[in-house]
Amino acid sequence: GENVEQHPSTLSVQEGDSAVIKCTYSDSASNYFPWYKQELGKGPQLIIDIRSNVGEKKDQRIAVTLNKTAKHFSLHITETQPEDSAVYFCAASKGYQLIWGAGTKLIIKP
């Protein structure tokens, strides 16, 4: 069935450095790829999304890239700050639902 693999499971970066989280999906029909951020004790919140007719999308320090041929997409966070510490989830569309990655715990070291 549809599968979304997310790497790494934990990422520790120095404050101010960049962070990259990668996801691969298996269903070539997937056409919507959101990224959610989950802070401790809260529900996930959408931070950026991309659709299959676009290769890259940016929103301030956050960007997402999509390679449909290789079936992978990545989240890029530049100039990381302490408030970026959280768990990040990628997802890929499948029919009416989203298939979620297992999550990446991002740790920002001061």
Judged by the rule CB under 8 A, the positions of this chain that interact with another protein are 31-32, 34, 36, 42-46, 49, 51, 89, 93, 95-103
Shortest Cβ distance from residue 95 to another protein (Å)? 6
Task: Say how many C-beta atoms besides its own lie within 10 A of residue 66's C-beta.
Answer: 21
Shortest Cβ distance from residue 100 to another protein (Å)? 5
Shortest Cβ distance from residue 79 to another protein (Å)? 25
